[in-house]
Amino acid sequence: MFKNISMIVVMLSGSYACLYAGTGAVTPTNEELMQKAHRMQMPFIANEGQTDEQVAYYAKTFGGTVCV
Protein backbone atom coordinates (compact mmCIF):
# COMPACT_ATOMS: atom_id res chain seq x y z
CA MET A 1 0.00 0.00 0.00
CA PHE A 2 2.78 2.45 0.94
CA LYS A 3 4.57 1.64 -2.33
CA ASN A 4 1.44 2.53 -4.34
CA ILE A 5 0.98 5.83 -2.52
CA SER A 6 4.65 6.68 -3.00
CA MET A 7 4.38 5.97 -6.71
CA ILE A 8 1.31 8.21 -7.03
CA VAL A 9 3.08 11.05 -5.18
CA VAL A 10 6.12 10.75 -7.45
CA MET A 11 3.96 10.75 -10.59
CA LEU A 12 1.96 13.79 -9.46
CA SER A 13 5.15 15.66 -8.56
CA GLY A 14 6.63 14.87 -11.95
CA SER A 15 3.54 16.03 -13.83
CA TYR A 16 3.44 19.23 -11.76
CA ALA A 17 7.08 19.94 -12.64
CA CYS A 18 6.39 19.34 -16.34
CA LEU A 19 3.58 21.90 -16.32
CA TYR A 20 5.91 24.68 -15.19
CA ALA A 21 9.09 23.60 -16.96
CA GLY A 22 8.05 24.96 -20.35
CA THR A 23 7.04 28.49 -19.34
CA GLY A 24 10.20 29.95 -20.93
CA ALA A 25 11.88 33.30 -20.54
CA VAL A 26 10.12 36.60 -21.10
CA THR A 27 11.35 38.48 -24.17
CA PRO A 28 12.27 42.07 -23.27
CA THR A 29 10.71 44.95 -25.20
CA ASN A 30 12.76 47.26 -27.41
CA GLU A 31 12.43 50.00 -24.80
CA GLU A 32 13.87 47.73 -22.09
CA LEU A 33 16.75 46.76 -24.37
CA MET A 34 17.51 50.41 -25.14
CA GLN A 35 17.48 51.30 -21.43
CA LYS A 36 19.96 48.50 -20.71
CA ALA A 37 22.14 49.55 -23.65
CA HIS A 38 22.32 53.13 -22.35
CA ARG A 39 23.56 51.86 -18.97
CA MET A 40 26.38 49.83 -20.51
CA GLN A 41 29.83 51.24 -20.02
CA MET A 42 32.87 50.74 -22.18
CA PRO A 43 36.08 52.11 -20.64
CA PHE A 44 38.00 53.73 -23.50
CA ILE A 45 41.75 54.17 -23.09
CA ALA A 46 43.60 57.07 -24.68
CA ASN A 47 46.14 55.89 -27.23
CA GLU A 48 49.54 57.00 -26.00
CA GLY A 49 51.57 54.98 -28.45
CA GLN A 50 50.13 51.58 -27.55
CA THR A 51 48.62 51.09 -31.02
CA ASP A 52 48.48 52.65 -34.50
CA GLU A 53 48.68 56.46 -34.49
CA GLN A 54 45.35 56.70 -36.40
CA VAL A 55 43.60 55.38 -33.26
CA ALA A 56 42.68 58.06 -30.70
CA TYR A 57 40.98 55.77 -28.14
CA TYR A 58 40.44 52.01 -27.79
CA ALA A 59 38.52 49.66 -25.53
CA LYS A 60 39.01 45.95 -25.00
CA THR A 61 35.67 44.11 -24.98
CA PHE A 62 34.61 40.46 -24.83
CA GLY A 63 34.10 40.55 -28.63
CA GLY A 64 37.41 42.21 -29.48
CA THR A 65 38.99 45.64 -29.38
CA VAL A 66 36.99 48.74 -30.39
CA CYS A 67 39.05 51.55 -31.90
CA VAL A 68 37.95 55.17 -32.37
Instruction: Encode pLDDT of 5-62 as tens digits.
Output: 666 666 656 665 666 666 677 888 899 989 988 888 888 999 999 999 999 999 988 8
In the prediction, which pLDDT does 41 show?
82
What local confidence, expressed as pLDDT, does residue 7 receive? 62
Task: Give how far Cα 3 sits from Cα of 7, 21, 32, 57, Å.
Answer: 6, 27, 51, 70
- What would you measure as the largest C-alpha separation in the chain, in angstroms? 82
DSSP 57: E
Nearest Cα to Cα of residue 44 among 24, 13, 67, 28: 67
pLDDT at 53: 92
